[in-house]
Amino acid sequence: MRKAEFWQGNVAIAHGAIAAGCRFFGGYPITPSSEIAEVMAEELPRVNGKFIQMEDEIGGIAAAIGASIAGVKAMTATSGPGFSLKQENLGLAYMAEIPLVVVDVMRGGPSTGLPTSISQQDVMQARWGTHGDHATIAYSPASVQECYEITVKAFNMAERFRQPVLIMSDEVLGHMREKVYVPAKEEIKLVNRKKPTADPEEFMAYKADPEDNIPPMAGFGDGYRWHVTGLTHNEWGFPTNDKDEIAKKSKRLMDKVDAYRDEIVEYDTEFTEDADIIVVSYGSVARSALTAVKLAREAGMKVGYFRPVTLWPFPDKEIEALAEKARRIVVPELNYGQMVLEVERAVHGKADVLPLNMVNGELFKPKDILQFVKEVA
Amino acid sequence: MPRPEIENWLRKRFFPHIWCPGCGHGVILHALLRALVSCGKKKEETVIASGIGCSSRMPGYIDACTVHTTHGRSLAFATGIKLANPDLTVIDVMGDGDCSAIGGNHFIHACRRNIDITAIVMNNNIYGMTGGQASPTTPPGSKATTAPYGAIDPPFDICQLAIGAGATYVARATIANPVMCERYIKAAIEHKGFSVVEIVSSCHTQYGRRNKRRTPVDNLNYLKAASVPVAKAKEMSEEELAGKITIGEFVKIEGKPDYTELYEKVIEAAGGKHHE
């Protein structure tokens, strides 16, 4: 039976993780994400899972990757400065194809910035923060209910695609309390990584299954011997300088998400049918935006609402389709223009793209967005 | 040639190895494999983790569950592996830069937690792979590519660092005594808790040629001459010990619970013992 809870976004993420089968958390305290670690410290041992507070952010993600290599679903959570510190090992998880969920509860930056205030300044870092090319799956929840549901989904995606999945939350969402319906255990669909069936003597750890282009993964202790490395490697998992092997691996890292782009991409729309102006926003900002759109509709304006739920891959085709009909696309963001670059790329000049930027530690009020919409109408 | 049961632990598909002819690290690889065989370990249940550097390429050559991580971070990965599955035997091999420079924080905290991992520090006093830069264990006065006029930094004593941070088994040997290397590695693997075995290795390519130890034999002769057993060192003055390498077992503390055992108590307290 489903239960109703009154949770903060951070608490919902932690409970979502437990429901998704997460049994390991490695982390380090940082505002405004610490509640995730605190709830995991309490809940994980109750389900025979493990929590460890590491010596730093780098150790937190490293321990989580280690646990995942040992076959356990694992997570780490952080905020801006910690997200920067985690980038190197995040890259290792992409390269070595280790399932992992990383939460960034965004605060103001750069540097120590605004530890207790909202921003959306890490969304490009989510895509390009670690060096080297790789495909990114990053979610942006906009309600506490969604914090729970997206966390379950993030684990499923990490397991399915054998790579890190990011949850880009924000300070307002992390600390805001809302009613959450927690589904019954049997209602939650779980995905577990595909295990190899090969003879251990013949096991090639990075030989992709032709069915989905993703190699099955053995946990350490499962009876298989294999090598994990951050070096570019061949199908045996051994470092290589062979140009064909390098090209094959590098391309597969991109392809495994690109090929399933349409399945991964998620978004939410309201009032877009006849819209002349579309407001594209994500995270907490989308809450203000939806109210602004409704107020604009009440005032007789043809304004629509579009919210990318996956920031990466970005719903570009879907936004382009809207731009066929709409004249203007308004993009409010709590940064100096990051996802707006993706919106511009998506619309191919078919509509005017108008950024609305604010970096003052606060969230847009609906009237801020409404006023901008009226000005540009 | 290694015995067949030792050779069975090698991933020959991965050969030739990257180490220079005469590199000291091969002695340590052989000693580690002898110790693992002597302890009766199974390849499928043995994890060898490493960071970055010449020493850290070792796991690739071992036919076990091996993980070559990022520079200095291997102990943090190893901690996650061991805590997630305490039944695994976890060995972490690292170089002096990995252990005492970029990974210094992970090293002292792994010592503090007393997690049941064996750390083997292959100390050759130099960054070999990147071209002979000075490390935190480069002896003062030694030439390095980043210390062309001689190193001025006071070096770390890795064993003293480990003892101070709480490791419960700490020993040092040199590659000039492979039997001692094997004995200490075996004792470390069998020890419950965090163990550190520092093995003073040699790099004639990057350290030796700039410091009057151009050949592997020069280095072995130096290590033999410089080694002082721990019992004898206790009777020597600081001046007499200058430039010497104290070898032996420094610390062996039995009965202190390791981190994974303590966490089992947390699970018990939380009532999670029988949860699926």
pLDDT digits (tens, 9 = 90+) for A206-245: 999 999 999 999 999 999 999 999 999 999 999 999 999 9
Residue A156 has pLDDT above 70, yes or no: yes
CA distances from B21 to A111, A352, B30, B203, B254 (A): 46, 65, 15, 10, 40
Question: pLDDT band at residue B276, thresholds of 50, 70 and 90?
Answer: low
Residue B1 has pLDDT above 80, yes or no: no
Contact A69, A219 (CB under 8 A): yes
Contact A252, A208 (CB under 8 A): yes
Contact between chains at B88 and A59 (C-beta distance less than 8 A): no
Delimit the domains of chain A by residue range.
3-187, 267-376
Give the tens place of pLDDT for each residue, A98-123.
Answer: 999 999 999 999 999 999 999 999 99
Contact between chains at B275 and A47 (C-beta distance less than 8 A): yes
A-B Cβ pairs (cutoff 8 Å, strict): 151
Give the tens place of pLDDT for each residue, A190-200.
Answer: 999 999 999 99
Domain A3-187 has CATH 3.40.50.970: yes
Contact between chains at B83 and A238 (C-beta distance less than 8 A): no
The reported pLDDT for the residue numbered B271 is 95
Residues of chain A contacting residue B82, judged by C-beta atoms under 8 Å apart: 66
Helix ranges (DSSP H) in chain A: 9-20, 34-43, 57-69, 80-96, 123-128, 144-161, 171-175, 243-258, 261-264, 284-298, 316-323, 339-347, 366-376
Closest in A44, A92, A219 to B70, CB measured: A92
Establish if A65 touches chain B: CB-CB under 8 angstroms. Answer: yes
Give the tens place of pLDDT for each residue, B201-226.
Answer: 999 999 999 999 999 999 999 999 99
Distance from CA of A204 to the nearest CA of B (A): 12
Residues of chain B contacting residue A58, judged by C-beta atoms under 8 Å apart: 73, 76, 106
Give the tens place of pLDDT for each residue, B13-63.
Answer: 889 999 999 999 999 999 999 999 999 999 999 999 999 999 999 999 999
Mean pLDDT of chain A: 97
Closest in A55, A70, A227 to B84, CB measured: A70
Give the tens place of pLDDT for each residue, B114-173.
Answer: 999 999 999 999 999 999 999 999 999 999 999 999 999 999 999 999 999 999 999 999
CA distance B1 to A362: 69
CA distance B61 to A236: 13
Contact A203, A196 (CB under 8 A): yes
The reported pLDDT for the residue numbered B274 is 80
Residues of chain B contacting residue A89, judged by C-beta atoms under 8 Å apart: 69-70, 73
Mutation for A interface: B36, B79, B92, most A CBs within 10 A: B79
Contact between chains at B44 and A71 (C-beta distance less than 8 A): no
Establish if A58 touches chain B: CB-CB under 8 angstroms. Answer: yes
Residues of chain A contacting residue B11, judged by C-beta atoms under 8 Å apart: 227
Contact A43, A20 (CB under 8 A): no
Contact between chains at B272 and A48 (C-beta distance less than 8 A): yes
Give the tens place of pLDDT for each residue, A44-87.
Answer: 999 999 999 999 999 999 999 999 999 999 999 999 999 999 99
Contacts by A213-216 with C-beta closer than 8 Å and gap 24+? A213/A252, A213/A255, A213/A256, A213/A259, A214/A97, A214/A160, A214/A161, A214/A162, A214/A256, A215/A97, A215/A162
Q: Which residues contact A22 (CB under 8 A, 6 or more apart)?
A: A40, A44, A49, A73, A74, A75, A101, A155
Give the tens place of pLDDT for each residue, A342-351.
Answer: 999 999 999 9
The reported pLDDT for the residue numbered B273 is 85
Distance from CA of A1 to the nearest CA of B (A): 20
Instruction: Please state whether beta strands B133-134 and B126-127 pair in parallel, antiparallel, or not at all (unpaired).
Output: antiparallel
**Fold of the A267-376 domain:** Rossmann fold (3.40.50)
Q: How far apart are the first and last CA of chain A?
A: 47
The reported pLDDT for the residue numbered B13 is 87
CA distances from A144 to A171, A181, B125 (A): 12, 10, 53
Say if A3-187 and A267-376 have the same CATH topology: yes
Instruction: Look up the pTM and report it.
Output: 0.98
Phi-psi region for residue B131, left (φ > 0), alpha (ψ -120 to 50) or beta? left
3-state helix, strand, coil in chain B (%, to 5): 40, 20, 40
Domains of chain B and any CATH numbers: 4-270 (3.40.50.970)
Establish if A359 touches chain B: CB-CB under 8 angstroms. Answer: no
Distance from CA of A39 to the nearest CA of B (A): 13
3-state DSSP assignment of residue B220: helix
CA distance B33 to B41: 10
Residues of chain A contacting residue B87, judged by C-beta atoms under 8 Å apart: 221
Closest in B63, B78, B271 to A225, CB measured: B63
Q: Mean pLDDT, to the nearest integer, of A300-314? A: 98
Distance from CA of B267 to the nearest CA of A (A): 4
The A residues from 8 to 27 touching B (CB cutoff 8 Å) are: 23-24, 26
Contact between chains at B84 and A52 (C-beta distance less than 8 A): no
Distance from CA of B74 to the nearest CA of A (A): 8
Contact between chains at B84 and A24 (C-beta distance less than 8 A): yes
